[in-house]
Structure 1
Amino acid sequence: MIDLNDVKKVRQIDSMSSLLTTERYDMQFEEGLKIAENFKIEKPMHNFHELVILGTGGGSSVAAGLLRSYLFDELDIPVIINQGYNVPAYVDENSLIFVISHSGNTEETLSAFEQVKSKGAYMLAITAGGLLQDKCAENQIPCLIVPQDIGHPRRVLGYIFIPILVILSKLGLISDKTHEIQQLINLFSELKQKYGVDVPVEDNPAKQIAMELYGYIPLVYGSLDYYDSVAWRIKNQFGENSKLMAFYNVIPNLHHDEAVGWDMPEDLISKFYLILLRDDELDSPKIKKRKDITAEMLSARMGKVRQVYAEGPNRLCRMFSLVYLGDFITLYAPIYRGVDPTPVNIINLFKTKMAES
């Protein structure tokens, strides 16, 4: 195992500097805010029936999920995440469509783009370039160009999520979120003093959890109304960053089905490490009670139960405080095993095979 207090070794294994990128989320999110504020878009005289976000993977679709959770009680049209090649029949001229592909070359998103184009929906895009940028130029579709980074969209939520918020405000669909975003930027600056590479294990919860996870299967439980997408994000990060199969579910839903599976044989359930997402402010009394009971019951069954708590002055901060912790945990976990967290060889192999005639 790698000593996570060996800063030089940790950064050496992290060959593409994903930890450094994460430590710099405050700067990334601030840049994302400035880019979005400078994006010129006319407010359409239109009553949209739904917001459909075309996007896949740990950047685009997760950003859409976080948006849906964050705006749960404010945005008065449904948010639909469309991750496939095709779009549903209800997409029409009354739909607001965000087309999001960091590379600009995601084949599912480009396929869905072509279908939407023929339906007369109001479209705009967020990308770092590629075919999507070209197609937007050809069809005079508003397109926000964001920095490319290294082509791993899971590292650039600040260039995806923040512009969506700003654009929705420009369109008059939500209130101005600038103050909340600034508070989030400040929170990132504080939290990297808890989770960053230079912080030793004994003072670093992210490193501690990453080490405890060794030999277990990660399971993340979130909750409605705000932490379903956060749990989804962390689960995805375990796959891409940690190279681990992981699972997630949502309270209260899971108490009506998955909970029966807690009676599985002890030698199986003991292999799970549960990360339970909690919020002393946003969780309702009923949800708090359900989480208390869940932690109590599973502490006697699973290999380990770790409860982590949101922090920050507003909902955006509180949600992203756990996103941020999850990002660090899932980066330290593979490094502890001596594995570089950034390459996604399986995904690249899949793309190669898909391209074969």
Structure 2
Amino acid sequence: MIDLNDVQKIRELDSMGSLVTTEHYAEQFAEGLALAQAFGLDNPGRAFHEILMLGTGGGSSVSGGLLRSYLFDELPLPLAINQGYHVPAYVDANTLVFVISHSGNTEEILSAYDQAVERGAFCVAVTAGGKLADRCRRDGVPYLIVPPDIGHPRRDLGYIFIPLLVILGKLGIIEDKRADIEGVIDCFAALKQRYGADCPIGDNLAKQIAIDLQGYIPLVYGSLDYYDAVAWRIKNQFGENSKLMAFYNVIPNLHHDEAVGWDMPQELLSRFYLLMLRDREADSEKLAKRKDISRDILRDRMGKVTELHAEGQGRLARMFSLVYLGDFISLYAPICRGVDPTPVDVINLFKKKMAE
């Protein structure tokens, strides 16, 4: 096992610098805000009936989920996330379509984009270039060019989520969220000191949990109305960064079905490591009670149970405080095993075989 106090070693193992990128989320989100604010976008003057988000993976589709969670009690239009090759039947001229492909070459998104344009939907794209940028130029579709990084959009939420939030404001669908975004940036700057690679294990919660969950299967429980997408994000990060199968669900939904699975054979249930997401400000009395009961029951059944508490000023900062902690945990977990967290060999294998 790698010593997570050996900063030089863990930075060497992280060959593509995902730890450094994560440590600099504050700067990335600030740059994403600046790019989005400078983005020229005319209001089309349409009465939108719904918003459709075309995106795949832990950066694009999750950004749509985080947007929907954050704006749960404010967004006046339904927002659906579309991750496949085809758009649903309701897409028409009154649909606002966000087209997200960091590379610009995601085949599912290009296919869905063509269908949305053909249906007359109002599309706005966020991309680093590729075929999507070419098609937007061809079709007269507004598109925001963001930095290409290394083609791993899961570590580029500042270039994806923030522009979406700003664009909704530019279109007059929601109020301006600059103050909330700046709160997230401040939160990142503070938490970097506690979760970054230079912070030793004894003071670093992310490193402590990464070490503690070695040999277990991560399970993340979020909650409605604001922490479903955060749980989804953390689960995805365990897959891509940690190279671990992981699962997630949300309270109260899981108490009507999945909870019965807690009676599975003890030798199986004991392999799970539960991360329970909590927010003392957002969790209602009933929701907090459900989480307490779940924690108490599962402490006697699952391998381990740990609670992660949101912090920061404002809902957006509190949501992203847990996203940030989850990102660091998922990066340290493979490093403990001597595994580079950034490469995604299986995904590349799928792409290679699809191209044959």
Give the Cα–Cα distance (whole angstroms) in 2 for the partners of residues 226 and 21 of structure 1: 26
Whole-Å Cα distance in 1 between the matches of residues 56 and 118 of structure 2? 21
Report the alpha carbon displacement of residue 275 of structure 1 after superposing the two structures with TM: 0.2
Q: Structure 2 matches for 1:333-352, cutoff 5 A?
A: 333-352=333-352
| Consecutive unaligned residues in structure 2, runs of 5 or more | none
User: What residue in structure 2 maps to residue 305 of structure 1?
Assistant: 305
**Partner amino acid, structure 2, of 1:352:** K
List aligned pairs for 1:170-249, cutoff 5 A: 170-249=170-249
Superimposed CA distance per residue, residues 267-301 of structure 1 (whole angstroms, 9 cap, x where no aligned partner): 00000000000000001111000000000000000
Shift of 1:91: 0.4
| Residue of structure 1 equivalent to 2:320 | 320
1:78 aligned onto 2:78 = yes
The one-letter code matched in structure 2 to 1:329 is: I
> Match of 2:353?
353
Aligned to 1:97: 97
Secondary structure class of the residue paired with 1:317: helix
Q: Distance in 2 between matches of 1:16 and 1:338?
A: 14
Counterpart position of 2:263 = 263
Q: Give the Cα–Cα distance (whole angstroms) in 1 for the partners of residues 175 and 318 of structure 2.
A: 18
Please state whether the residue corresponding to 2:67 is helix, strand or coil: helix
Moved more, 41-50 or 122-131: 41-50
Distance in 2, Cα, partners of 1:258 & 1:97: 33
Q: What TM-score results when the alignment is normalised by the length of structure 2?
A: 1.00
Q: 2:149 is matched with which residue?
A: 149
Amino acid in the other structure paired with 1:97? V
1:266 Cα deviation after fit: 0.6
Q: How much identity, in percent, do the aligned residues show?
A: 69
What is the SS of the residue equivalent to 1:164? Answer: helix
Q: C-alpha displacement at 1:43, in angstroms? A: 1.2
User: Quick one: distance in 2 between partners of 1:312 and 1:184?
Assistant: 8
SS class of match (1:261):
helix
Question: 2:48 aligns to what?
Answer: 48
Q: 2:80 is paired with a residue of what secondary structure?
A: strand
Rounded Cα–Cα distance in structure 2 between residues aligned with 1:255 and 1:181: 33
Shift of the alpha carbon at 1:47? Answer: 1.1
Q: How far off its partner does 1:42 sit?
A: 0.5
Q: Say how many residue pairs are matched.
A: 356
Per-residue deviation at 1:46?
1.4
RMSD of equivalent CA atoms: 0.4
Counterpart CA distance in 1 for 2:41 and 2:308 is 40
TM superposition shift of 1:45: 1.3
Deviations 1:139-168, CA, capped at 9 Å, x for gaps: 110000000000100010000000000000
Q: Distance in 1 between matches of 2:74 and 2:289?
A: 26
Which deviations, in whole Å up to 9, do the C-alpha atoms of 1:78-134 show, x marking residues without a partner?
Answer: 000000000000001110001000000000000001111110111110000000000
SS at match of 2:186: helix
- Give the C-alpha shift of residue 171 in structure 1: 0.2
How big is each residue's C-alpha offset from its partner over 1:301-342, in whole Å with a ceiling of 9 and x where there is no partner? 000000010001100000000000000000000000000000
Q: 1:51-81 CA distances to partner (integer Å, 9 max, x unpaired)?
A: 0010100010000000000000001100000
- Please name the residue that 2:114 is paired with: 114
Residues 163-191 of structure 1 deviation map (CA, whole Å, 9 limit, x = unaligned): 00000000000000001111110110000
Give the match for residue 20 of structure 1: 20
- Number of the residue aligned with 1:135: 135
SS of 1:225 mapped into structure 2: coil
What is the rounded CA distance, in whole Å, between the counterparts of 2:24 and 2:118 in structure 1? 40
